[in-house]
Structure 1
Amino acid sequence: MSFKLKTVVAACALSVVSVGAMADTWRYAFEESLTDVQGEYAKEFKAYIEENSDHSLQLFPYGTLGESADIMEQAQAGILQFVDQSPGFTGALIPEAQVFFIPYLLPENHDELVSFFRNSKAINEDFVDVYAEKGLELLSMFPEGEVVITTKEPFETPDDLNGVKVRVMTNPLLVESYKAFGATPTPLPWGEVYGGLQTNIIQGQENPMFWVESAKMFEVTDVITFTGHNNFTTAVMANKPFFDGLSDDDQALIRDGMKAAFDHIVEYQRGLGERSLEKIKEQKPEIQVNRLTQAQRQPFRDAAQEVEAKFIEMTGERGQAILDQFKADLKAVQQ
């Protein structure tokens, strides 16, 4: 157990209930601020729980309990009842979840994307079993917005990214994606990204537009490029022993709260990327915004085949089965 985890255990000993007990206060940590997408989702879930039960929900935004690895460790240990974490950070723990980082797999159309997350068998059935093996009850997955790449110099081709160090989450497949894109992927904890860009240790990073604006990434990069290669995905999980020990009514309460929060967040996101871009332009009028054409995107699309092959290599037969179901679910939505 890490020193940080021991500290949190000691600090929270009085407020953490034993597995299976009726909890008056539940603890929920996430990777963003209260005013970002994960925070908005968490606040909606909290409101639902507290309006429809005697329970209360304590929210812990990014940084209050450590980095992403820390909150996952705390969730698995039962210190946290709920955690919201992107598959980008759970890729080493749950390799199959890296399917969300195969470029150009998810649809760009917002309504198709929402329908996929709402109805996908891969997400709502197959992944539930995969996460359960790690002591986690998968409750919801939702998209957070189109991923853009911010850099110090413009690029249009994979060759233009040669030698460019792009920060990625600590996710093996995301590393392979940026290798295929021609860049030098550089995994870094989030807390080191702004300073890394400021000191030129790295020259680029990827994130949805609202986070580029919220985390001030535009202050330390000069170009925003829309490649259309992905939409940022996150997952809300419960500690499984905690969840399994709840009454049927409380389990239903949580699932209904997750549905209410999902409905809220997909509407909240509609147009959020463009609103965030306008805020960036107001603060930095000289920012360069490039939207690659379909022809310019094609070499990056071609590179995605290499990344898909790496995914299968990393995850074997189960990864192949999940990818096949993923594609079938996408086809159903797009038809």
Structure 2
Amino acid sequence: MTYKTVLATSAAALLLGSGAAIADTWRYAFEEAMDEVQGKFAQKFKEEVEANSDHEIQLFPFGTLGESADTMEQAQSGILQFVDQSPGFTGALIPEAQVFFVPYLLPQDDAQLASFFKNSKAINEMFPPLYADQGLELLTMFPEGEVMMTTTEPVEAPADLDEVKFRVMTNPLLVESYKAFGATPTPLPWGEVYGSLQTGIIQGQENPAFFIESTKMYEVTDYITRTGHNNFTTAVMANKEFYDGLSEEDQAMIDNAISAAFDYIIDYQKGLTEESLDKIMEAKPSMTITDLSEEQRAPFMETADSVEGEFLEIGGPQAQAILDQLKADLAAAAEG
């Protein structure tokens, strides 16, 4: 057991022990800081719940209760009532959720993206039973921003990723995606990424611009490359036993709070990417930001079919149905 695990276990034990004394306090953990996208969503959710009920929401940003694996265990066991976690970390639990890592599947248009996440039958009808099988009530999924590569050397083609040790989340399909791109994918917990880049253990990682800026990943890399290959997706869940045990009134209140937080976070992200890139350049003028042309993106896009095929192999028994419905939902969003 690592020191971090001991700390996380101790914190969880304290929370569990305090549960009876504060029956109306609900605990919500997420993978980012309070001033990052998941934190902003959580704060809006808290505001809505507390304004429309007698319940209180206690928020736990990244690191306060351990790594992502720790908070997922705590949510499944009922220590946490709510958790926000990317499908990148739940791929082993819910293999179908890896579909969000098929490159070039999601649109780059923000309005289409928001419409898709809000109205998708795959997300709203097909995924909830899969999460329920893991003791989780899927409340919503939402996009967090265009994923960009940050590297120590320039990237303009897949050949530039040859032998580059590229940090990825512990997600089998994301590993396959970066293999297809030509890199050497290296799964690492988030807490180890900065130090690994600093010491040269890895030479690249991917994240939205706001996260690259707020976590100062630009300090240990020199290039940001916009390949347009994905948008970071996250999911907000409740412990299912907790949620099912609530009154219909409380369930409706939570659902309304989630809906309000979804609309808020979509609006909050408008212009966030460019604002974050401007902050990075202000902090480090020597940083090189490259937006690949359609011609330069073409070799990366050509890998999508092979990664999609891999998803159908490892994405669970409903992989084909999920993928087909997702594509139908995306087409509907494109039509407006």
Q: What TM-score, normalized by structure 2, do the two folds share?
A: 0.96
The whole-number CA distance in structure 2 between the counterparts of 1:32 and 1:151 is 21
What CA distance in whole angstroms lies between the structure 1 residues aligned with 2:9 and 2:186? Answer: 30
Percent of aligned pairs with the same residue?
A: 66
The SS at the match of 1:104 is coil
Q: 1:10 aligns with which of 10, 13, 16?
A: 13
1:228 paired with 2:231, answer: no
What is the total number of aligned residue pairs between the two structures?
332
For 1:4 and 1:223, how far apart are their aligned partners in 2? 35
User: Secondary structure of the residue that 2:333 maps to in structure 1?
Assistant: helix
Where do residues 74-223 of structure 1 align in structure 2 (5 Å cutoff)? 74-223=74-223
The yes-or-no answer on 1:255 pairing with 2:255 is yes
Q: Distance in 2 between matches of 1:83 and 1:75?
A: 6
Q: Look up the match of 2:307.
A: 307
- Paired amino acid for 1:282: E
Which residue pairs with 1:294 in the alignment? 294
- State the TM-score, normalized to the length of structure 1: 0.97
Where 2:62 maps in the other structure, the secondary structure is: coil
Amino acid at match of 2:109: N
Letter in 1 for 2:27: R
In structure 1, what is the Cα distance between the partners aligned to 2:180 and 2:235? 26
How many Å separate the matches in 2 of 1:106 and 1:251?
Answer: 30
Are 2:45 and 1:38 equivalent residues in the alignment? no
Q: Which moved more, 1:290-299 or 1:9-18?
A: 9-18
* AA matched with 1:96: E
Segments of 5+ residues of structure 2 without an aligned counterpart are none
* Aligned alpha-carbon RMSD (Å): 1.4
Work out the CA distance in 2 between the residues paired with 1:262 and 1:155: 34
Using the TM superposition, give the Cα deviation of residue 15 of structure 1 relative to its aligned residue in structure 2, in angstroms: 2.6
The separation in 2 between residues aligned to 1:124 and 1:224, in whole angstroms, is 34
8 Å contact kept, 2:12–2:65? no
Equivalents in 2 of 1:303, 1:17: separation in Å? 52
**What SS does the corresponding residue of 1:159 show, helix, strand or coil?**
helix
In structure 2, the CA distance between the partners of 1:217 and 1:6, relative to structure 1 (3 Å rule), is closer
Letter in 2 for 1:15: S
The amino acid that maps onto 2:89 is F
Q: Counterparts of 1:71 and 1:272 in 2: how far apart (Å)?
A: 27
Cα deviation, residue 304, structure 1: 1.1
SS of the residue aligned with 1:14? helix
2:328 corresponding residue in structure 1: 328
Q: Which amino acid letter does the alignment assign opposite residue 330 of structure 1? A: L
